[in-house]
Amino acid sequence: MSNHEYDALYDELEELEKKTGMVLAGSPTVRVGYEAVEELPKEAHESPMLSLGKTKEREELPEWLGDREGLLSWKLDGLTIVLTYQGGMLAKAVTRGNGEVGEVITNNAKVFRNIPLKINYRGSLILRGEAVITYQDFEKINNRIEDIDARYKNPRNLCSGSVRQLNSQITAERNVRFYAFSLVQAQENGEDVDFGNSREKQFEFLARQGFDVVQYTRVNKDTVIEAVADYEKRIETYEVPSDGLVLIYDDIEYGRSLGRTAKFPRDAIAFKWADELRETVLKGIEWSPSRTGLINPIAVFEPVELEGTTVSRASVHNISIMKGLRLGIGDRITVYKANMIIPQIAENLTNSDNIEIPQHCPVCGGDTQLRAVGEVQSLYCTNPDCDAKKIKSFTHFVGRDAMNIDGLSEATLEKFIAKGFIHQYRDIFHLEEHCDEIVAMEGFGEKSYNRLIESVDAAREVELPKLIYSLGIPNIGLANAKVICRFYDYDLSAMRQAGAEELSAIDGIGEVIGRSFEDYFAVAQNCERFDNLLKELTIKKEETDAQGQTLVGNTFVITGSLAHFDSRNELKDLIESRGGKVAGSVSTKTVCLINNDITSSSSKNKKAKELNVPIVTEEQFMADYLKMQP
């Protein structure tokens, strides 16, 4: 359900509860937050973290303020965090959780982009703020995810997952930022610090300690409407996700004297942006097949301006939603951006209900079938050989660890396959035959096309392990491909003729991998397509130093952040170049676990201790195993 629909139903429920005087158990008006997950330690908050009452009517704000002054600030759209400092050092970070119990994420908070780990104030300090990911960073991270189905829907979801990672390195890579919005407690020698009964003075104190404080404006009943209008103008270019504003009394004691309801404190109120709706005309429905066979309806309508951008398409998600909207060609519809990002249809004003569901797949022409999962109906292609189902294999083929072809995201591959540009791997190396059509496609142009062709040409020279890995042979990862290539001294002919028994005898390969490798090259169609691909490529032989193969037969596991290598992949490549193997989990075959945080309580550390596997720092590993000076 979209925020637009949820807010409308929530408002309706509030009205019904006011009229009837009845609130049922489990009502969302008295239930807040979500359950904390099991993987992170849980901790109860010293005082409950309540939601705010809300309004979408700006005229209510002067009345709410009365003769008091208040602070109007952004209502940031991320994950609320509580920070505790003791003796000037960050001691603890806990998520909001369900409002009463949160998750301890201290290690992750330490790698946020802008949280001070040490502050001048040496007393006990507790504050609250919002962890967020900017729109710019959200786009960068999503663009690195080739699988379009795996991409994050909005910055809030990405931020929530990033903050609650078990591995703080992942959090560090996500550029999470923290903006303080409330000082809960500041004490020295057991006495509360005097801030002159002013929220603004609390904000000024936090700013002096090095915190980024949420942007705010001091207002009264005569200026608050104008201030809201100013924020409304700025939201179009504001880089931090926001779903509204917060108005709080500057007078701390007055606010506290008002008390609270079962769910809301009475010293603050949230002003929620009304969704920007635009009316337009539905021009048609595009049917977009996916690798699972699911065929998604995409609404195409006359372009409209929404939240500062032009939109002309919106996913309808499935047949049930399309039928519920009673869509028809030429219908007048209203559209909006969910979370100010994702175009959605809000309402159909005409209800023609004349869309015909295709009986044949738009890619392969195979029969389609309506299938119901629960109460949701979706359309599927029944042809097992449909090109659309091959998208995943092509996405894997062009991936960074495989052929490393930039510019061919899953969405782009889907378009190229739908237009018949690509049927097998070799076709990717002949995209210039479709130059005019590609340049004319939405999202492309001369520059994008030229960059794509340059990347394709660069991929013509490839290392053999990456080529083998790119084929997507079941159970064959890049590390296994390297082991096989080295065993056969990069003799591709010998590798293709190898049987499962022979392959299984290679240290680190085993029967399952050996059988998968043999089975792949036993299929004539696979061999034919591979031979066609080879005609397009030049294989680079990896230079190996026999005397430098000091790690042959040794398996290592790497976890956590590194100081001497740019990434874990860089260290992994070095280990493999010396004949070693890097696994993803600790086992009895692991020589050692490389982790700079030896004392952490991570699952890998626990497993290593259970199995008596040594845990060594990066520097210890370099000195003892690589014989390198750290």
Query: Residue 380: which H helix or E strand, with range?
Result: strand 376-381
From the list 18, 75, 118, 589, the catalytic residue is 75
Task: Name the residue among 379, 368, 456, 378 with its Cα closest to residue 412.
Answer: 456
Distance, in Å, from the CA atom of 238 to the CA atom of 396, rounded to the nearest integer, reads: 36
Quote the tokens at residue 250. Answer: 């500057």
List b or e across 506-525, with b for residues whose CB sees 16 or more CB atoms inside 10 angstroms: bebbeeebbbbbbebbeeee
User: Which amino acid makes up residue 207?
Assistant: A
Within 8 A by CB and 6+ apart from 239, the residues are 134, 135, 136
Question: The dihedral of CA 309, 312, 317, 320: what is its sign?
Answer: positive
Confirm if 85 and 118 have CB atoms less than 8 A apart: no
Distance, in Å, from the CA atom of 390 to the CA atom of 381, rounded to the nearest integer, reads: 13
Within 8 A by CB and 6+ apart from 302, the residues are 280, 281, 283, 312
Confirm if 289 and 361 have CB atoms less than 8 A apart: yes
Q: For this structure, is 535 an active site residue?
A: no
CA atoms within 13 A on the CB side of 411: 13
Full 3-state SS string of 153-201: CCHHHHHHHHHCCCCHHHHHHCCCEEEEEEEEEEEECCEECCCCCEHHH
The CA-based dihedral angle spanning residues 589, 591, 597, 598, taken in that order and rounded to the nearest 10 degrees: 100
Confirm if 594 and 556 have CB atoms less than 8 A apart: yes
Query: Residue 127: which H helix or E strand, with range?
Result: strand 124-132
Confirm if 141 and 174 have CB atoms less than 8 A apart: yes
Name the residues annotated as catalytic: 75
